[in-house]
Amino acid sequence: MLNYKETIDYLFHKLPMFSHIGSAAFKKDLTNTILLCEALGNPQKQFKSIHIAGTNGKGSTSHILAAILQTGGYKTGLYTSPHLVDFRERIKVDGVWCDEQFVINFTQKVIPLIEKIEPSFFEITVAMAFYYFALQKVDIAVIEVGLGGRLDSTNIITPELCVITNIGFDHTNMLGNTLPEIAYEKAGIIKPNIPVVIGESVPKTRPVFIEKANKESAPIIFAQEERYVADFNSDPHLLTVEVASKHNDNHETYHLDLSGIYQTKNLLTVLEAAHQLQKLGYNTSTNVIKKALTNVKRLTGLHGRWELISTNPNVIVDVAHNPDGVKQLVEQIELCTYSHLHIVIGMAKDKDIDSILALLPKLATYYFTKAQIPRALEENLLKEKAKEFSLEGTAYLTVKDALESAKNVSKKEDLIVVCGSVFVVGEVLA
């Protein structure tokens, strides 16, 4: 029998893995997931769920909703991807990773099927998560879409509620080159008669959502039409947000332990999702929400979202890796006070590299590097490309070397930001 490390090596190397090889690992239908789950007794039908898609914010939104449900007294499953440090981060119940022995046992159980149908890594992890949640008898599970929505392996569930955070340009080689095309893929999670909350929409994406919701007779709610952010205040540890209703004089103040200002957008989405869950009979009152928001990291183990990991100088890690995410990251940096800015950055080859580099601040010292995955863009290539956008710095073979170098030359009132890829941040946190 394989031990845990051998099991993980088997899963990582035997199965096509998107984070390693990109679009070649993406299976464009749900056949394998359906076959896997049928062989496991359809675990996805044995628990209630919430399904969350979107270009940015779906990870934070999933974790915040899970924290609210946990605080409301529900045994809560949480499936997200990719992981930062350990594979088991993907599958949690009440914030606790699934255990190593479960991963070993599950993999042993499905090896004959893996040999037969040759699923992708993601298809196996989705089936594993569903099986674990059924085994743990969770009250409800928050399921984050891996990529897109319509053809994503997670899209075999019938949830209580669907949430689409926003639409931006990412994975365009698979999801389409226009916002309506990408919205069409994300809208694929909308199910017959199941309410759907849309976080942010723009004139180009709104009709796509409305058309799909009408076709499925699904009640559709646009979070932006229900509430707005009246004021906010951010420090490295806490984000305070005043939210006002668009329908009455009601104002509420919320404190989040996630200090990134982009969480203000996610908060509006979460508040509407919680409101819809309350209408379905869930204990997601304002008091429950307020208590949960101050404890998201402790309750769910969310990391890598504008996260301060050390001080003197301040070192912040953020998983921003597409144009919309980086734009919000730059807005956050502009609100910071520091003497000099240092940016440690590595990217995947299949990202919109030019658009991202065009957004980054020119008055910074750059440390170009790469995560240890095949999909990573070579650090010297990144350095050369960055030069075209007047971004100056040095290339480093590893993330560790790049960060060490930034720390060595920084004064204690400087700011170091690590970004560009989930995998770069993962290596720092590891």
Q: Is 233 within 8 Å of 261 (Cβ atoms)?
A: no
Residue with tokens 């606790």: 96
Q: Is 428 within 8 Å of 355 (Cβ atoms)?
A: no
Pair (69, 209) in one structural domain: yes
- Supply the pLDDT for residue 18: 46
Residue 255 lies in a domain: no
Which CATH number goes with the domain that contains 91?
3.40.1190.10
- Supply the pLDDT for residue 293: 98
State the pLDDT confidence band at 27, using cuts at 50, 70 and 90.
Answer: low
Pair (377, 296) in one structural domain: no
Distance between CA atoms of residues 371 and 379, nearest Å:
9
Q: What is the pLDDT of residues 330-345, one digit of tens each?
A: 999 999 999 999 999 9
- Supply the pLDDT for residue 236: 80
> b/e for 212-227, b at 16 or more Cβ within 10 A?
bbeebebebbbbbebb
Predicted confidence (pLDDT) at residue 97 exceeds the cutoff of 50:
yes
Mean pLDDT of 67-75: 98
Distance between CA atoms of residues 318 and 308, nearest Å:
9
Across the chain, what does the average pLDDT equal? 94
Mean pLDDT of 196-211: 96
Output phi, psi for 341, to 5 deg.
-105, 130
Predicted confidence (pLDDT) at residue 19 exceeds the cutoff of 70:
no
Which CATH number goes with the domain that contains 365?
3.90.190.20
Residue numbers of the domain that contains 124: 4-225+264-282+292-300
Mean pLDDT of 12-35: 70
Residue 375 lies in a domain: yes
- Supply the pLDDT for residue 16: 66
- Supply the pLDDT for residue 153: 95
Pair (321, 273) in one structural domain: no
3-state SS track over the chain: CCCHHHHHHHHHHHCCCHHHHHHHHCCCCCHHHHHHHHHCCCHHHCCEEEEEECCCCHHHHHHHHHHHHHHCCCCEEEECCCCCCCHHHHEEECCEECCHHHHHHHHHHHHHHHHHHCCCHHHHHHHHHHHHHHHCCCCEEEEECCCCCCCCCCCCCCCCEEEECCCCCCCHHHHCCCHHHHHHHHHHHCCCCCCEEECCCCCCCHHHHHHHHHHCCCCEEEHHHCEEEEEEEECCCCEEEEEEECCCCCEEEEEECCCCCCHHHHHHHHHHHHHHHHHCCCCCCHHHHHHHHCCHHHHHCCCCCCEEEECCCEEEECCCCCHHHHHHHHHHHHCCCCCCEEEEECCECCCCHHHHHHHCCCCCEEEECCCCCCCECCHHHHHHHHHCCCCCEEECCCHHHHHHHHHHHCCCCCEEEEECCHHHHHHHHC
Q: What is the pLDDT of residues 123-135, one digit of tens each?
A: 999 999 999 999 9
Mean pLDDT of 14-19: 64
State the pLDDT confidence band at 414, using cuts at 50, 70 and 90.
Answer: very high
- Supply the pLDDT for residue 151: 92
Give the count of domains, the chain.
Answer: 2
Mean pLDDT of 116-143: 96
State the pLDDT confidence band at 21, using cuts at 50, 70 and 90.
Answer: very low
Output phi, psi for 136, to 5 deg.
-80, -5
Pair (60, 107) in one structural domain: yes
Residue 232 lies in a domain: no
Residue 101 lies in a domain: yes
Closest CA to 41 of 152, 134, 160, 105: 134
Pair (272, 391) in one structural domain: no
Residue 9 lies in a domain: yes
Q: What is the pLDDT of residues 207-263, one digit of tens each?
A: 999 999 999 999 999 999 999 999 999 888 899 999 999 999 999 999 999 999 999
Residue 230 lies in a domain: no
Q: Is 186 within 8 Å of 196 (Cβ atoms)?
A: no
Mean pLDDT of 408-417: 98
Pair (316, 421) in one structural domain: yes
- For the chain, what percent of residues have pLDDT higher than 70? 96
Predicted confidence (pLDDT) at residue 320 exceeds the cutoff of 80:
yes
Distance between CA atoms of residues 128 and 125, nearest Å:
5
Pair (278, 339) in one structural domain: no
Q: Is 318 within 8 Å of 418 (Cβ atoms)?
A: yes
Pair (272, 389) in one structural domain: no
Residue 26 lies in a domain: yes
Pair (340, 397) in one structural domain: yes
Mean pLDDT of 163-170: 86
Pair (311, 278) in one structural domain: no
- Supply the pLDDT for residue 171: 63
- Supply the pLDDT for residue 218: 98
State the pLDDT confidence band at 29, using cuts at 50, 70 and 90.
Answer: confident
Pair (372, 277) in one structural domain: no
Q: What is the pLDDT of residues 184-194, one digit of tens each?
A: 999 999 999 99
Pair (269, 342) in one structural domain: no
- Single-letter amino acid, residue 378: E
- Supply the pLDDT for residue 351: 86
Residue 390 lies in a domain: yes
State the pLDDT confidence band at 176, using cuts at 50, 70 and 90.
Answer: confident
Q: What is the pLDDT of residues 32-66, one digit of tens each?
A: 999 999 999 999 999 999 999 999 899 999 999 99
